[in-house]
Amino acid sequence: MIAILKYNAGNTTSVENAIKRLGYSTLVTDDVSLLKSAEKVIFPGVGEASSAMNYLRERNLEKVLKSLTQPVLGICLGMQLLCESSEEGNTEGLGIFKTKVRKFPAENIVPHMGWNNFTSVRGDLFQHISIENDCYFVHSYYAELCSETIATTDYILPFSAALKKDNFYATQFHPEKSANFGLTILKNFLEL
């Protein structure tokens, strides 16, 4: 079973539908025992960082997420919360990825919204994906480049489009909204 983390951040339905299209069963949950026993965990999100982290802390999900040993995929806000901190709401993150989340500097062209390709990709998550493939982004904050960056995109400045450390993977873009390329990335994750 693929667990999709429920934490009062949007976008769980589109992630659930994409996973089902790939032939997997899913469950949207914040139940600790179900998260721990899931084959894979997806940490999606559209929302605001500080309120999302408060929800996780109030339910002790912060510690549970850090302790997971199966593959975990953070998407958009889920990725940002896996980082050390976010400028959005001056939020302390889970610290899985050793990078900070910053606000894009140019107010008149934020959020970054639409289709963008990559300037680099590497690793298992990007099998059968090239830098020419476009994925869908919608965000005003970005993770800085770091040693755990496995894909980069350039919008105003270069930033981490995807991160990986141990069993944790994350994408700033929305694979569930990125047509066939996004489904390929989700399939790659589900087959890890």
Where in the sequence numbering do the catalytic residues fall? 76, 174, 176
Q: Is the dihedral of CA 20, 140, 72, 37 positive or negative?
A: negative
DSSP 59: T
Closest CA to 38 of 62, 14, 72: 72
- Identify whether the C-beta of residue 109 lies closer than 8 Å to the C-beta of residue 157: no
Q: How far apart are the first and last CA of the chain?
A: 14
Integer Cα distance of 72 and 75 in angstroms: 10
DSSP 174: B
Q: How far is CA 77 from CA 22, 127, 129, 168, in A?
A: 23, 24, 23, 14
The residues, ordered by sequence, that sit 6+ positions from 160 with a Cβ below 8 Å of its Cβ are 99, 142, 143, 144, 145, 146, 148, 149, 151, 152, 172
